[in-house]
Amino acid sequence: MPTEKVSYKETTHTQHRYDWIAPFYNLMEWPVEKLLFQDWRSDLWQQVEGPKVLEIGVGTGKNIPYYPDDIDLSGIDLSPKMLERAKSLLEKHDKSQVQLKEMDAQDMDYPDNHFDDVVATFVFCSVPDPVLGLQEALRVTRPGGRLRLLEHMRAEWSPLALVMDRLDAPFHYLSGVHIARKTVDNVEKAGWQLQKVQDLTNGGIVKKIEAIKPR
């Protein structure tokens, strides 16, 4: 993937925001993690078969406890500070088959057709160019391999969607997160074939998405 497609300005902004948020991230997310996310993570990881798996945007490593033991996992993140926290959490778990690296999802170092599954949770709201990131994910996945996402996105109910559109730019400036992305459309635009889209909340704000790389 040609690196000139990546916006340096946008990507640096996102990296700086997550570096700044890293010390508070787990605390900020604690209530939703306990109420909702942990069950969704557990359910998603039970379906991952591998053996070669890529996790994009590992963040502070919240998925680490759910990694199956029989997979070979490569995890990447743009933010060195988020990754530092993931690495220290990894030390507390017996997961010798896991490698974590700083890398941009929009321009990955992995060869074509390398992974069996690609997983990301709450990441494509932040990747500066989500279609470029999803195209890179497609490139590094083998034909027939799967993409599994948990993502929040633009609501389906138009009054709320319009509010989200209005708030998207200031929210992104402050946090690095876009709240009004059309992630299901982006997955298809990148060339993935949708298999299943499951609405996990009312109004389609959080979805579990499963897609396959066409053979």
Ligand X SMILES: C[S@@+](CC[C@H](N)C(=O)[O-])C[C@H]1O[C@@H](n2cnc3c(N)ncnc32)[C@H](O)[C@@H]1O
Binding site for ligand X (CB under 6 A): 14, 18, 56-59, 62, 76-79, 82, 104-106, 121-123, 126-127, 133
Does residue 207 contact residue 183 with C-beta atoms inside 8 Å? Answer: yes
CB closer to ligand X out of 79 and 161: 79
Q: Distance between terminal CA atoms of the chain?
A: 20
In one letter, which amino acid is 177? V
CA–CA separation, 97 and 15 (whole Å): 26
Distance of CA 125 to the CA centre of its chain: 8
Q: Among all chains, which residue has been given the structure tokens 């974590």?
A: 100
CB closer to ligand X out of 162 and 169: 169
| Strand positions, DSSP E, the chain | 52-56, 72-77, 98-102, 115-121, 141-152, 193-199, 206-212
CB closer to ligand X out of 137 and 161: 137
CB closer to ligand X out of 129 and 165: 129
Which residue number has the CB closest to ligand X? 59
Residue among 148, 157, 164, 158 nearest 198 (CA): 148
Q: What is the closest distance, in whole angstroms, from the C-beta atom of residue 3 to ligand X in the complex?
A: 12
Does residue 196 contact residue 209 with C-beta atoms inside 8 Å? Answer: yes
Q: What is the closest distance, in whole angstroms, from the C-beta atom of residue 35 to ligand X in the complex?
A: 14
Q: What is the closest distance, in whole angstroms, from the C-beta atom of residue 159 to ligand X in the complex?
A: 25
CB closer to ligand X out of 17 and 213: 17
Residue among 147, 178, 167, 158 nearest 17 (CA): 178
Q: What is the closest distance, in whole angstroms, from the C-beta atom of residue 127 to ligand X in the complex?
A: 4
Q: What is the closest distance, in whole angstroms, from the C-beta atom of residue 48 to ligand X in the complex?
A: 14
